[in-house]
Structure 1
Amino acid sequence: AGDSSSLISEVPSYNDHSKLLMVVDRAGSLIEVTDPESWGLRRYHVVSNIQRHLQAPSAFVARVALDVEIESEQEIALQDVASEQSIQGIQIRQISYSLDANQRTRAQLYLPKGTARGSCNALVCMRQNPSDTDHERAMELARRGYVCILPDWTGDVKTSPAYDDVWQVQRAIDVLQACEIVHGERLGYIGDAAFGQLGLYAAAIDQRLVAIYCDAEEATSLAILQTASNHSLAELIATSAPRALRINLPRHAQLAQLVQDQAQIAREVFELRNVPQRLTWNHSGQMEEIYVWLEESFRRPQPRFAR
């Protein structure tokens, strides 16, 4: 279902996490990465180390049924909808669903009405500081034909993401894929601050995400730069290749430079996959630009797997 395995076997350690185009092969020799296949082995090593950092379970965790319950529904009629979209309105559902055998969580689901089966792009939308603008953004995305899920978060990702946080994103993706109007291979993620970083981790582990937007504008620190010793931000970014990844750089100049430097290192992996244009970073978080980027990202032929 697009997940990287939760079974963490013994993997080699790398002394220099900035040399992404080197890999320890199955014979134990350090060799150059020259093609997507050899990058796939290095990516496996990176993701395995990420799972260890996130304290992922050492054995496979079976998914339970979502058991989605609709708690309330609101119908919103739309005026002046763009003519290219045959949207008749928006339905907002308050839902609950199972995280695992012992926990349930809630979310808001925004559904454009009048769309064909399997026709909609879909997004997991996360914000560290929820506000009324979240509703406005989800409404605008739904007007443009997107299905959006806004999970009610359980946990704290302000310091460093844990595997349970990634699992919550994965279950939100499960909900989106269960919607009959959603195209199951056109799924994305939007997150700000700590949730932007969480999106990188979720995309590393779950390859169903094909467009990832990380808004780091308000970030004053990045936990990965402080807590991760077995992988780098460059490696984390590179695991998204060849999928589309856009980073809105931190306002803090020194932190922005650090992110740019790491993204520049990661770009060589996107170049190896012949998609350097799919990794972008800048100081613009204007939503109109993000809408255009999303449309372009979903319009391109979608990679089935990142390796």
Structure 2
Amino acid sequence: MIEKPSLPVFDADDVVESAVVSRLAGNWSKRATVKKSEPDLDDLFDTSKHDYPEALIPFVDHDVYRALPDTTRAKLRAWGWIAFNKNVMDVEQHVVHPGFALLAQDAFDIGMGDVLAIAVTQAMVDEQYHTLMHLNASALTRRKRGWSLSERRLPLSGTVRRRHATQAKAVDSNDAALNSLAFMTVAEISITSYLNLIEDNELIQPVNRATVALHNRDEYCHASIADEMAAIVFESLDSGDRRVFLDGLADGMDAFSSTDFSTWSAILHQEGVVGADRMLREVETDGSRKQLVQDYGGIQSLCRKLDVEDEIGIVWA
């Protein structure tokens, strides 16, 4: 059963979540669900908290990073949060939205009825709110830290670049559409695992945790939509098109789980970190390093439902 998405669900008694939503929608305080004036996000920013979990920095244990001054490491953590938000926004705009747009246009000729069309269109609206929410979070970090930290200095997310590359290699528009659907399916079903990387602990900036928590709640609903739509489309495909879609799922999972070293390279060079190239080279070739996103249980469940769990070429964890 498809659940219809809605605006972010939040705890009205949680001042941080309320402030995030208030900033997200300027007239939120006029809605019946909000009975009191909301604090400003700026007032809730705690300069003593980390902007990003240091454990997620891929070179956190490298001697070059460990030798950096505390102020530089703090700035790199802030950059990590900016890059995290940019990755989310890039994926929403360049992976998720195009995939949902194909469904909304009934590009796969599945006979989209009103219920499905409304659910998909509402999900597309949600994605714009998510983009704004993460943009607000990055703007707050820049404003309160006093650092420029411009995401314009960072490359497109690795997932987006991989999708663009596969689109360019598609033999025709049909294959391109199936690949786009596959990447969107991976993103929507698995993005909760990515958002969960921002641990809910006392070291992390409360506004950042609240931003992720609000986004995550919507994505659990979106995952059910993406799962259902993928299954409906898959059942209508011939064997050749099914193969294209399954290959797209595998490619999307690999892209989504990989650490984007090009982004970290841009950050480190922006900050003039001496030894950055050596550090990244050594970390990237370290065979013991774990993938960034490791939980693909949702995609595995989808493949099991489609009876193709053993046909996708993935060694499930």
TM bracket, shorter-chain basis? under 0.3
Where is the helix percentage greater, Structure 1 or Structure 2?
2
Structure (1 or 2) with the greater strand fraction: 1
TM-score where L is the length of structure 2 = 0.26
Which protein shows a greater Rg? Answer: 2
